[in-house]
């Protein structure tokens, strides 16, 4: 069965992996140029005190 996963964040990637392991033909669609969702590093995070480390 062909399955589409919308979003290549953490949940989308895990869903795609599990569906693929179950024998499905999986296509993942992501609107941005990078996978990872909210885990993608952005330099602007350093301007936000909540995004700073150290």
Is residue 54's pLDDT more than 80?
no
Domain of residue 18 covers: 2-51
Out of 24-28, 37-41, 43-47, pick the least confident.
43-47
Given a contact cutoff of 8 angstroms between Cβ atoms, the answer to whether 38 and 12 are in contact is: no
Mean of all residue pLDDT scores within the chain: 88
* pTM passes above 0.85: no
pLDDT score recorded for residue 18: 99
Closest by alpha carbon to 29, among 3, 5, 11, 2? Answer: 5
> How many folded domains does the chain comprise?
1
Residue-wise pLDDT for 11-22, tens only, equals 999 999 999 999
């Amino acid at each position: 069965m062909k399955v589409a996963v919308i979003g290549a964040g953490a949940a989308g990637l895990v869903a795609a992996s599990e569906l693929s392991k179950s024998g499905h033909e999986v296509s993942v669609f992501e609107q941005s140029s990078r996978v990872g969702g909210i885990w993608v590093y952005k330099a602007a995070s350093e301007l936000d005190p909540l995004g700073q480390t150290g």
